[in-house]
Amino acid sequence: MKKLIYINLIFATLLFSTGCKKGFLTDLAVNPNQPSQAPASLILPPILTGYASNSYFSSATIGLWMGYYSISGGYSTDNNSMTYYVSAAGPSNWDNLYNILKNAAYIETTSASDPNGAYSVAAAKILKAFGFQILVDGYGNVPYSQAFKGSGNFFPKYDNGQDIYDSSIAQLDNAINLIQNAPSTTTNLGNNDIMFGGDMTQWAKFANTLKLRYLIRQSNIITASAAQAEIAKTAAVGYLTTDAMVNPGYLNTAGKQNPFWASYGVDPGGSLYSDGYNYLRGGGAAVNFYKDSSDSRLFYVYAPDNSAPNTAAFFQTDANPDHYHGVYYGDRAAASAQNNKGTVGLGHGILAGFAASAPVMTAAESYFLQSEAALRGWMSGDALALLRQAITSSFEFYYTQAGSSASDADAAATIYLSSHATSASVQEIITQKWAALAGVNNFEAWTEYRRTGYPNTSVLPLTKFPGNTRHIPTKLMYPTSEQNTNQDNYKAAVAQGNDPQSTKVFWMK
């Protein structure tokens, strides 16, 4: 008994003597193996891989709308799926994008006080502008100025899309300035930059290309003089001439494969993913566009009938166009009939393997943007030459993703260009851009369609589902997550328009 009392007295004495030590209890509460803050450098890779996943997927549903895909006749689908019906449940990339943007905002905030953090701040600003453009283009007005305040504001208001655009362009200018005037002691992004490997010249070009996308998107509402002035501010920086690709070191391990392969390719055990490759078939609009144009990208964007990525033959280029058959969106009868004969699936120029790099923005898009800007007189340059370079870059993307050489791609592009893209117009630029975005960025193709109306219905007909009365949606609906967690601001945003068939994003005609 005395021994127990003695031990208790010792413990009490120790507790009393240390009780006045500052932070005693809070020190005990901190788990050194689970830090509350992470170095900004470690946050960059998941942001880049997140955007790569978003760009690559761009929603299978939107790929259906844009004629790139159809649904296999072996799957049952309801009428809504074939008639452009959109609900709050999807398609939606809202939550994913805001999670990515939250991390980008964290990098910007934590690096701003670092005297050597200019490159990190610049990259964060660029990546925020990248994500917010997707959100505005998809939904219209979205939370921006009050976002990412944490406990400071759990219910951010929705900002006007035009205001977000204006602010983002200013942020891109600021990012370019930070890169160009960073102190010599600035910490390089190094290996954590899994897109440009720490090459800040490329980051500046990426920012300037994104800025050009912001300006071109407003072609229906911006004056030529305003566009010219904005372009002139950063013209000396130049634009992307190579693909902005991300690769953290994808492996043939669950959760570590190339994101597109991880849904539509083969699992680490060698089996096709359930409801993956065999679910999406080639869309008649794109397949027939390539075939009618004698465009050899057909053999890379799609795989031959009855092919699959769990066979060696999938990675061998079959250059016989008679082996490629697609089905138009909504034509369920044709899909069912063709299902027994075989239809094309996604090809090895998109579905390139578990270790393939994933695109965030291609050089082809950069050249298409420059071509349109030159055509509109917003910048110097030969619009036709830039258009033809854009098409050549598209060939290079698909060919090299599939393991073919750039020289083979250039030779194929030369043949194609001998009878195509012989003059520049908005219709030709956007139609060719649509052909170059197949499976690479379906969302961007949909956005350009809403801005220009191209490709027209001779290339991209509306759904062939009988009795359809809807058109390709003009926006996405705000998700249920906002309705549940930010109700008052959600209601105010909905009151300004949330109908995918009638509400237009501010830059639309």
Q: What is the pLDDT of residues 479-508, one digit of tens each?
A: 999 999 999 999 999 999 999 999 999 999
For the chain, percent of residues with pLDDT exceeding 70: 92
Poorest-pLDDT segment among 188-202, 259-273, 338-352? 338-352
Q: How far apart are CA 134 and CA 94, in angstroms?
A: 9
Question: Exposed, middle or buried, 296 (CB in 10 Å: 0-12/13-18/19+)?
Answer: buried
Q: Write the pLDDT tens digit of every residue in 223-249.
A: 999 999 999 999 999 999 999 999 999
Output the pTM of the full model.
Answer: 0.92
In this predicted structure, the answer to whether residue 93 has a pLDDT above a threshold of 60 is yes
Give the number of other CB atoms < 10 A from CB of residue 400.
Answer: 18
For the chain, percent of residues with pLDDT exceeding 90: 82
Residue 90 is predicted with a pLDDT of 84
State both tokens at 414.
């030369």
Average pLDDT over residues 48-75: 87
Residue 36 is predicted with a pLDDT of 55
Among 434, 391, 325, 405, smallest CA distance to 67 is for 434
Residue 40 is predicted with a pLDDT of 78
Average pLDDT over residues 51-79: 85
In this predicted structure, the answer to whether residue 3 has a pLDDT above a threshold of 50 is no
In this predicted structure, the answer to whether residue 11 has a pLDDT above a threshold of 50 is no
Give the number of other CB atoms < 10 A from CB of residue 76.
Answer: 8
pLDDT band at 273 (very low <50, low <70, confident <90, very high): very high
Domain assignment present for residue 342? The answer is: no
Domain assignment present for residue 59? The answer is: yes
In this predicted structure, the answer to whether residue 9 has a pLDDT above a threshold of 70 is no
Q: How far apart are CA 405 and CA 455, in angstroms?
A: 30
Mean pLDDT over each residue of the chain, to the nearest integer: 91
Q: Write the pLDDT tens digit of every residue in 106-162.
A: 999 999 999 999 999 999 999 999 999 999 999 999 999 999 998 889 999 999 999
Domain assignment present for residue 14? The answer is: no
Q: How far apart are CA 387 and CA 410, in angstroms?
A: 14
Residue 472 is predicted with a pLDDT of 97
At which residue do the structure tokens 């075939």 appear? 291
Q: How far apart are CA 391 and CA 509, in angstroms?
A: 27
Q: How far apart are CA 371 and CA 384, in angstroms?
A: 7
Number of domains in the chain: 1
Residue 323 is predicted with a pLDDT of 95
Residue 428 is predicted with a pLDDT of 98
In this predicted structure, the answer to whether residue 35 has a pLDDT above a threshold of 80 is no
Domain assignment present for residue 80? The answer is: yes
Q: Write the pLDDT tens digit of every residue in 292-303.
A: 999 999 999 999
126-147 burial, b at 16+ Cβ within 10 Å, e below that, comes to bbbbbbbbbbbbbbbbbbbeeb
Q: Write the pLDDT tens digit of every residue in 359-381.
A: 999 999 999 999 999 999 999 99
Domain assignment present for residue 302? The answer is: no
State both tokens at 28.
């005990």
Torsion of CA 443, 248, 147, 37, to 10 degrees: 170
Q: How far apart are CA 452 and CA 267, in angstroms?
A: 39
Domain assignment present for residue 298? The answer is: no
Q: Are strands 302-303 and 345-346 parallel, antiparallel or unpaired?
A: antiparallel
Q: Where are the beta strands (DSSP E) in 147-226?
A: 158-159
Residue 58 is predicted with a pLDDT of 63
CATH of the domain at 201: 1.25.40.390
451-473 burial, b at 16+ Cβ within 10 Å, e below that, comes to bbebbeeebbbbbbbeeeebebb
Average pLDDT over residues 419-437: 98
pLDDT band at 84 (very low <50, low <70, confident <90, very high): very high
In this predicted structure, the answer to whether residue 22 has a pLDDT above a threshold of 50 is no
Domain assignment present for residue 207? The answer is: yes
Domain assignment present for residue 281? The answer is: no
SS3 158: strand
In this predicted structure, the answer to whether residue 14 has a pLDDT above a threshold of 80 is no
Which domain, by its residues, includes 226? 43-251+355-495
The distance of Cα 320 from the centroid of its chain, to the nearest Å, equals 32
